[in-house]
Structure 1
């Protein structure tokens, strides 16, 4: 009997761009099993490539899970939910209501909320397709015979690790390897019941370590494709989430040596090359080049965040920096100018913007989507050094932070800010700088969990302003969705 994942959903034809009519004749076109792909992969070499391309497209696809909901658009949709949950992104005005429940922290405490279901299906569908590719190419332990097979296996394992990593961050309150947290399927193991987090972390580390080896020497044609550095980035995050800071620093430093940092001019309009809107920016590690032929309109991350795009941020659903966080950005820091102050909205009009800069002007979206950049790993390396306990760790962290801050605040201010710090005060400063630097990029939530922080909302939130939440409180993690609990008798929603 074939095993089918309830939580993984069915593999739909959207993932298999290489299929032709002859191949599909006589098959169920909405369900392609790993056995089917394995049987035909020799005759249809584009099939596995089509599966990987399907994941790549799914990550930025509007309506990909629900077909209808305006906050359903892949990883960047999850990024907004994470940024709102930890409070750094404020829903500062609400005209249409799409983010009312997220901003009011209802989804994390109510398993019937559709945000939980969208996140769950999104990641498990990626896992399902990645497992199919891995199985079809020979399984978890296969030794690929050529460079093309190495690339396919390396990318598939990175996608599987990426999805499990985010599920662990979102559905477990804090790192506890013994806690049973999620259903798990890696081809060799099939469990509809929850398995210990440590088992899944082991799989993530194994997948990424192997992917880095497999992708060594591969040069990608575009930054939306997975290469070795993307896998190294996720391995750095995974080690840090596990408290393995020396290992996290090694991986982070690999990325620091491979990419150029964002320049002071690029940080804020009207600097040269300013705006986080171009995948060709040298500091971007992973992102997506949105082009006109993709037809993205209205239902997109840009529509939710950028008032220069014809969509919700312009029409009355403002996404702003939390004003308490904003108040901690010192005068003279160029990043303070990323946010509009004239109307008090604090929208990120000088960080994320359509280059045309006409309010409501961008209808077909061609500004690019960012998933990962090198500053994440400069900050993570400094954090890891400070937490490592190694001799000279704090000195290394301080030197890195002074270098990081100098283009943002000037050399004298950078030194004056960082030099006196040590211990928890230094860690608090690195965490603060992570929140400021990566605002709106979906990374503050990960830093909150990693640093076991308590977050306090400012005054510009429509909901829950002034309230504080510990990283492991009910409100800071998501719930296994109702549909999974109904369909899977081996699971419950407690996390």
Structure 2
């Protein structure tokens, strides 16, 4: 009998879990794998999270979970689209797409997350349904993963498609089983209650489960998801409990060295959940790395860079290692690019400066985030005019391919990050501060910041209000580019003022619940679903 490679089976499974129906939400599969196990189906879900075109389009912004992390970072204004040579994401950055339900920006994540929900429902139904009493350890683990994925999908939907947390407001349809029936919009309170139920069940079901790798959801990942749900509701007493269990359970903080280490490997001790990207995944330009990393053959390198908001960068303290996460790209008269370290000296490999394979006739210099190229202390070749600066404050010191060849990585081998333990060290400090436990909050906060700053003593003198504000600012700095700032902005009911390096709305301020800062239920769903 001919052997079928595992990868081929996974592709077939993806077709099984994501086939379309005439209505907008898909139900009936057109291909199947004979009697697939629950875990086999789940492996297909994990693949769906990184595959292209899973939002129903061929766009280069349609590549799974990390695509929508970019959406959220741009909506928060912490991420700057610093060039529009190719146009991807430009209508998010200029806020024109979120107010027009006919645009694909609204359609792609909606379709993607409901595909995940339908596929998770299929796994749950195959295991006996939502209320199944399972005895098999393997089945419990599969059920726990499926419920966590379902809750994670609903959380992203309810955050991205509503202006703010309002328990009585109508939000999105809930689907609890793989049904072809179109659902009505549920009140937010119903959606949040369902997420909490799913995640509470998942935590119980995953108790004792030893996952094969960090690409698989385990109990701690489900707890992390639950902490986010409680935080979005403003239930910080419960956040203290759940995040505190994670922190006090020994989850490691990303070290100062690792903070500028590339964020490119699932093996990093502080990574809780992600995806081990290999050549077999065939990811290239159409990927998260292809949109953000100047050391990848990417839009970020070729003309659509993603940068940190200048106001946010200026909020990074002088003794903070995270200032080195952001660099400037400068054209000059040399014929090759040269990579510099934070002190402005060339980075050497076998005694030779690392150079670029750039297609441009001029080269590039990689330097600190914002700098004065006319500084007389610069090396002679660094004395260039401001007109030669291509773009500033790109994350080439935070996210990068280990080879560090500008524009070099063609087929993606750097991994995807979904969740890391630092999120819950910071969320724990935030929740303690918001429940009036100021002394404990400062202790937890300083414990984290000691891995970023040389001096954390300033925290001791902060008022309650200043402490909360500082935690929020450092949350934005720490998780820049990871899709988390949008959640923080909403739960803190914050406003943002765009810095000088934005292309659109420079200096203008936006409230977290502005009509332009959340997506609208897409036209395709409105047409297909008479029950909305």
- Asked if these proteins are the same fold (TM beyond 0.5), I'd say yes
Q: Residue in 1 aligned with 2:135?
A: 145
Q: Give CA deviations for 1:423-466 in whole Å, capped at 9, x if unaligned.
A: 22111100000000010000000000000000111011122221
Q: Residue in 1 aligned with 2:441?
A: 397
Q: CA deviation at 1:60?
A: 0.9
Q: CA deviation at 1:147?
A: 0.4
Q: Does 1:441 align with 2:482?
A: yes
Q: Does 1:464 align with 2:505?
A: yes
Q: CA deviation at 1:379?
A: 0.6
* Distance in structure 2 (CA, Å) of the matches to 1:480 and 1:86: 19
Q: Residue in 1 aligned with 2:322?
A: 335
Q: Whose helix proportion is higher, 1 or 2? A: 1
Q: Does 1:16 align with 2:7?
A: no
Indicate how the Cα distance of structure 1 residues 94 and 255 shifts in structure 2: closer, same or farther if over 3 A, else same. Answer: same
Q: Does 1:370 align with 2:417?
A: yes
Runs (4+) of structure 1 moved beyond 4 Å? Answer: 30-34, 188-191
Counterpart among 343, 347, 350 of residue 397 in structure 2: 350
Structure 2: segments with no counterpart, 5+ residues? 1-9, 17-25, 329-366, 368-388
Q: Does 1:101 align with 2:99?
A: no
Counterpart among 396, 403, 407 of residue 451 in structure 2: 407
Q: CA deviation at 1:93?
A: 1.4
* Distance in structure 1 (CA, Å) of the matches to 2:301 and 2:284: 13
Indicate how the Cα distance of structure 1 residues 328 and 72 shifts in structure 2: closer, same or farther if over 3 A, else same. Answer: same
Q: CA deviation at 1:407?
A: 2.2
Segment of structure 1 superposing worse, 180-189 or 99-108: 180-189
Q: Does 1:267 align with 2:259?
A: yes
Q: Residue in 2 aligned with 1:379?
A: 426
* Distance in structure 1 (CA, Å) of the matches to 2:419 and 2:293: 19
Secondary structure, in 3 states, of the residue corresponding to 1:166? helix
Aligned length: 453
Determine if contact 2:252/2:270 at 8 Å carries over to the other structure: yes
Segment of structure 1 superposing worse, 441-450 or 256-265: 256-265
Q: Does 1:248 align with 2:260?
A: no
Q: Does 1:326 align with 2:313?
A: yes
Q: Give CA deviations for 1:236-281 in whole Å, capped at 9, x if unaligned.
A: 000111111111122212222242111111111xxxxx12111100
Q: Residue in 1 aligned with 2:331?
A: none
Indicate how the Cα distance of structure 1 residues 336 and 456 shifts in structure 2: closer, same or farther if over 3 A, else same. Answer: same
Indicate how the Cα distance of structure 1 residues 422 and 300 shifts in structure 2: closer, same or farther if over 3 A, else same. Answer: same
The aligned runs of 1:295-334 (5 Å cut-off) are: 295-334=282-321
* Distance in structure 2 (CA, Å) of the matches to 1:31 and 1:109: 29
State the superposition RMSD in angstroms: 2.1
Counterpart among 196, 207, 218 of residue 187 in structure 2: 196
* Distance in structure 2 (CA, Å) of the matches to 1:429 and 1:191: 44
Q: CA deviation at 1:32?
A: 4.5
TM-score of the superposed pair, with normalisation by structure 2:
0.82
Which structure has the bigger radius of gyration?
A: 2
Determine if contact 2:55/2:107 at 8 Å carries over to the other structure: no
* Distance in structure 2 (CA, Å) of the matches to 1:118 and 1:31: 17
Secondary structure, in 3 states, of the residue corresponding to 2:184? strand
Determine if contact 1:15/1:55 at 8 Å carries over to the other structure: no
